[in-house]
């Protein structure tokens, strides 16, 4: 009977249930990937880590891929896809449940171990699921079958981002990182908040003195801008130390607390609309306006409340009136300095130098007097700060742990379902190698294949770039534009929507453009946008960072396809090498965190904030990817044709 006219189904009817079950894995690991990216910022704030230390979350997370990719490939090659899936899900579930004891113990190393075990499981899932889907039916429809399954991955990613933004970042205690660090210093070193603030303001005064001591500084655009910023900071700092509105702080705080809580989802949508400049910033409520007028914003009110709690204790322990007088004497010259940089104001260099010296003198005198106050009787106050900080941290870690723990419980049910319903073996599994383990021969052939080896390198740099762009968009938004971490994470959701939309466009373009040429075009676009992220100030720089996601949309599968093209059965172990390349995220993310921890970089023509300078790392990554794309269509493809 002639069946030549029959249309081959993408998924054979008898394998439809198996296909649906395995496809569920794609959003499951997408969820884990994208709920974890903003946890770098969350752990930094909760546990008071440096950017480098907090980025170890990504080192542990992507380290699991590097650790288990090859063992996972050997496991499924020797046993079966089903056993690989069940083992991967079991590890994933166990790691999620580990978040409960990690939070209770307040142990960052335990959290890192949880992430490492989690991605060891995800490594099994990713190494297994792709060839498993390919084996479910006719080889002619394998690519369409895999693309269909992969289309569900971004759905899990968006849900993960949404949970991170709405149910984690937005629910964390509102105590600022600065206040938490002051509480930690208070408890560990016994240094009063007044002294901590004074040290910061004296540092600002010293930095301003160094600027105005530079010849013709007022004629330098860079130095003039820096002097203006430091003067504004000094004005606000001395105003708050003088604490003129201290008596109204509790009343304003109570009014703010009594305000009705708005809808989280509407607030998130409005925040993104403001970022995109679709709508203006909402007008402050009467309580918020009073806070801003009296205490220079939210942090000022928070600081004033802390100073109010501390001042009576210090006054009881020693002479206070002299200290208070020095604070008051610093306010007027600091305000005079800031006024010099107002609209239509004229800068008098000599006067600026004298005012800076006057502010510095009053602050130093206050510092000396404060250091002379005995603090032996304040041990209960210091201990209470430590207890309060610990309470906040435990509550925040509970918020972080809950979604992971719920996922762990859900995954137990998924493991049972897969163990029950997945067939022991699918048609086409191990049909080429009969379960053989010619690892040595496969590795030799792979290492001789330049397209494959360069593909693994390119994939390593791609994953590093993707994770850096999606992880540190939160820091970029908060440090450069003053956005809340929750709002900056909503910008990440916007980037993911752009990523998914661009994937469809780029898939269509692949009908007309070779994969190597398309990869080169996408990487070149990413290079331009990342350059904008580094050098363009304000919201335009943030838009460039969001736009990079459009260029990244098809890089992973394109590199994957180019590298494995024509490998035959060697593609099974070759696929594991490309999954191992996901470990690029564990190396590059901490490096970017280390750069963010550095002070601003002076380029001569401009001062570059460290968070912006850190995106030089993704820029380098995209250059490597562009070179791979160019070599693919200009060198490797020509060799294959010959």
Q: Where are the alpha helices (DSSP H) in 243-320?
A: 249-258, 264-275, 286-295, 298-317
- Return d(Cα 605, Cα 611) in angstroms, integer: 18
Average per-residue pLDDT for the chain: 86
Same domain for 236 and 157:
no
Give the pLDDT of residue 438: 66
Q: What pLDDT score was predicted for residue 236? A: 95
Asked, for residue 509, whether it belongs to a domain, the answer is yes
Q: In this predicted structure, what is the pLDDT of residue 290?
A: 94
Is 60 exceeded by the pLDDT of residue 433? Answer: no
Lowest-confidence region among 14-18, 184-188, 205-209? 14-18
Q: What are φ and ψ of residue 338, in 5° steps?
A: -65, -35
289 and 398 housed in the same domain: no
Residue 182 lies in a domain: no
Residue 516 lies in a domain: yes
CA distance 252 to 295: 10
Instruction: Tell me the HSE value of 2 on the side-chain side, using a 13 A CA sphere.
Output: 2
Question: How many C-beta atoms lie closer than 10 Å to residue 499's C-beta?
Answer: 22
Same-domain status, 272 and 365: yes
Instruction: Give the CATH number, domain containing residue 85.
Output: 1.20.1250.20
Q: What is the mean pLDDT of residues 97-101?
A: 96
Cα separation, 598 vs 614, in Å, equals 10
Place of tokens 């990216």: 37
Give yes or no: residues 486 and 591 share one domain. yes
Same domain, 146 and 123: yes
Half-sphere exposure of 355 (CA within 13 A, CB side): 22
| One domain for residues 419 and 363 | no
β-strand partners of 601: 608
> 387 lies in a domain?
no
Residue 183 lies in a domain: no
- To the nearest whole percent, how much of the chain has pLDDT over 70? 94
pLDDT attached to residue 89: 95
Both 197 and 320 in a single domain?
yes
Query: At CA 318, angle to CA 316 and CA 322, rounded to 5?
Result: 115
- Phi/psi of residue 91, nearest 5 degrees: -65, -40
Print the domain residue range for 639: 438-642
Phi, psi for 608 (deg, rounded to 5): -105, 120
Radius of gyration in angstroms for the set of CA atoms belonging to the chain, rounded to a whole number: 29
Residue range 439-479, pLDDT digits in tens? 777 778 888 888 888 988 999 999 999 989 988 898 898 88
High-pLDDT (> 90) share of the chain, %: 47
Q: Is the pLDDT of residue 63 over 80?
A: yes
**What number of residues does the chain have?**
642
Q: What is the pLDDT of residues 339-367, one digit of tens each?
A: 998 877 788 889 999 999 999 999 999 99
Q: Are residues 525 and 625 both part of a single domain?
A: yes
Instruction: In the chain, count H helices and then E strands.
Output: 31, 2
In the predicted model, what is the mean pLDDT of residues 183-191?
95
Helix axes 450-471, 439-448, angle to 10 degrees: 80
SS3 312: helix
Whether residue 397 sits in one domain with residue 339:
no
Spatial separation of the C-alpha atoms in residues 501 and 523, rounded to whole Å: 17
Q: Any residues with CB less than 8 A from the CB of 557 and at least 6 apart, and which?
A: 150
What is the reported pLDDT for 2?
Answer: 47
Distance, in Å, from the CA atom of 150 to the CA atom of 172, rounded to the nearest integer, reads: 33
Q: Does the residue 185 lie in any domain?
A: no
In contact, 420 and 554? CB cutoff 8 Å? no
Q: What is the pLDDT of residues 233-278, one digit of tens each?
A: 999 999 999 988 999 999 999 999 999 887 777 777 777 777 777 7
Q: Cα(first)–Cα(last) distance of the chain, in Å?
A: 41
Q: Which of 366, 260, 227 is CA-nearest to residue 307? A: 366
Six token digits for residue 551? 């260029």
- Taking CB atoms within 8 Å and a gap of at least 24, the contacts of 332-338 are 333/358, 333/359, 333/362, 334/231, 334/234, 334/235, 334/237, 334/238, 334/239, 334/359, 335/235, 335/239, 337/208, 337/231, 337/234, 337/235, 338/231, 338/232, 338/234, 338/235
- What is the predicted pLDDT for the residue at 641? 44
Q: How many domains does the chain have?
A: 3
- CA-closest candidate to residue 87, choices 117, 125, 144: 125
The predicted structure's pLDDT at residue 1: 43
Is 505 among the domain residues?
yes
Cα(182)–Cα(176) distance, rounded to whole angstroms?
A: 10
Q: How far apart are CA 430 and CA 80, in angstroms?
A: 8
Measuring CA to CA, which residue among 501, 472, 467 is closest to residue 488?
472
Q: Is 168:400 a contact under the CB 8 Å cutoff? A: yes
For 108-126, write each residue's pLDDT tens digit.
Answer: 999 999 999 999 999 888 8
Assess whether 579 and 523 both reside in one domain: yes
For residue 38, what are its two tokens?
Answer: 């903003």
345 and 289 in a common domain? yes
Name the residue with tokens 């005012």: 355
Token readout for 340 is: 């010099």
In a domain, 103, yes or no: yes
Q: 127-163 pLDDT, tens per residue?
A: 888 778 877 777 666 656 776 777 788 788 888 988 8
The reply to whether 461 and 370 lie within a common domain is no
Alpha-carbon distance values, 554 to 81, 140, 461 (Å): 26, 22, 14
- 455 neighbors 578 (Cβ within 8 angstroms): yes
């Amino acid at each position: 009977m002639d069946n030549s006219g029959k249309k081959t189904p993408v998924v054979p009817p008898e394998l439809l249930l198996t296909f649906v079950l395995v496809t569920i894995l794609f959003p499951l690991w997408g969820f884990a990937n994208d709920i974890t990216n903003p946890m770098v910022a969350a752990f930094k704030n909760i546990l008071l880590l440096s950017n480098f230390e907090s980025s170890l979350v990504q080192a542990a997370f992507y380290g699991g891929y590097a650790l288990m990719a090859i063992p996972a490939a050997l496991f499924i090659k020797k046993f079966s896809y089903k056993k690989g899936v069940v083992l991967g899900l079991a590890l994933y579930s166990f790691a999620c449940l580990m978040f409960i004891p990690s939070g209770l113990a307040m142990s960052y190393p335990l959290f890192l171990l949880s992430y490492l075990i989690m991605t060891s499981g995800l490594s099994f899932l990713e190494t297994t699921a792709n060839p498993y889907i390919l084996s479910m039916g006719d080889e002619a429809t394998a690519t369409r079958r895999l693309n269909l399954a992969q289309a569900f991955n971004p759905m899990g990613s968006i849900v993960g981002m949404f949970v991170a933004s709405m149910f984690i970042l937005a629910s964390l205690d509102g105590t600022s990182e600065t206040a938490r660090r002051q509480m930690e210093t208070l408890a560990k070193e016994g240094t009063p908040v007044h002294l901590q603030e004074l040290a910061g303001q004296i540092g600002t005064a010293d930095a301003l003195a160094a600027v105005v001591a530079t010849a013709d500084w007022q004629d330098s655009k860079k130095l003039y801008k820096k002097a203006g910023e430091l003067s504004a900071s000094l004005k606000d700092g001395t105003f708050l130390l003088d604490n003129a509105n201290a008596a109204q702080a509790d009343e304003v705080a109570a009014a703010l607390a009594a305000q009705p809580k708005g809808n989280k989802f509407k607030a998130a949508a409005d925040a993104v609309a403001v970022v995109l400049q679709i709508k203006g910033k909402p007008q402050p409520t009467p309580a918020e306006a009073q806070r801003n007028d009296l205490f220079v914003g939210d942090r000022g009110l928070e600081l004033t409340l802390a100073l109010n709690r501390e001042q009576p204790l210090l006054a009881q322990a020693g002479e206070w009136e002299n200290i208070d007088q020095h604070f008051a004497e610093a306010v007027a010259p600091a305000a005079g300095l800031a006024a010099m940089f107002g609209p239509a104001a004229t800068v008098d260099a000599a006067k600026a130098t004298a005012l800076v010296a006057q502010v510095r003198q009053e602050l130093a005198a206050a510092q000396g007097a404060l250091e002379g106050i005995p603090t032996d009787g304040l041990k209960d106050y210091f201990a209470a700060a430590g207890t309060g900080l610990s309470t906040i941290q435990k509550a925040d870690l509970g918020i972080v742990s809950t979604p992971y723990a719920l996922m762990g419980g859900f995954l137990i049910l998924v493991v049972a379902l897969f163990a029950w319903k997945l067939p022991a073996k699918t048609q086409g599994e191990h049909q080429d190698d009969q379960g053989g383990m010619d690892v040595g021969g496969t590795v030799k052939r792979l290492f001789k294949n330049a397209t494959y080896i360069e593909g693994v390198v390119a994939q390593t740099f791609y994953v590093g770039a993707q994770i850096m762009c999606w992880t540190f968009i939160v820091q970029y938004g908060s440090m450069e534009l003053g956005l809340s971490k929750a709002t900056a994470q909503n910008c990440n959701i916007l980037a993911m929507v752009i990523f998914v939309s661009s994937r469809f466009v780029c898939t269509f373009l692949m009908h007309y453009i070779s994969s190597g040429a398309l990869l080169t075009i996408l990487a070149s676009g990413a290079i331009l946008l990342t350059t904008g992220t580094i050098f363009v100030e304000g919201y335009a720089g943030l838009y460039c960072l969001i736009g990079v996601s459009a260029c990244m949309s098809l890089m992973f599968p394109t590199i994957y396809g180019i590298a494995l093209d024509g490998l035959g059965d060697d593609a099974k172990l070759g696929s594991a090498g490309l999954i191992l390349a996901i470990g690029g995220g564990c190396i590059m993310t901490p490096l970017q965190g280390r750069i963010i921890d550095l002070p601003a970089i002076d380029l001569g023509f401009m001062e570059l904030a460290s968070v912006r300078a850190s995106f030089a790392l993704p820029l380098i990554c995209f250059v490597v990817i562009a070179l791979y794309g160019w070599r693919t269509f200009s060198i490797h493809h020509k060799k294959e044709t010959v």
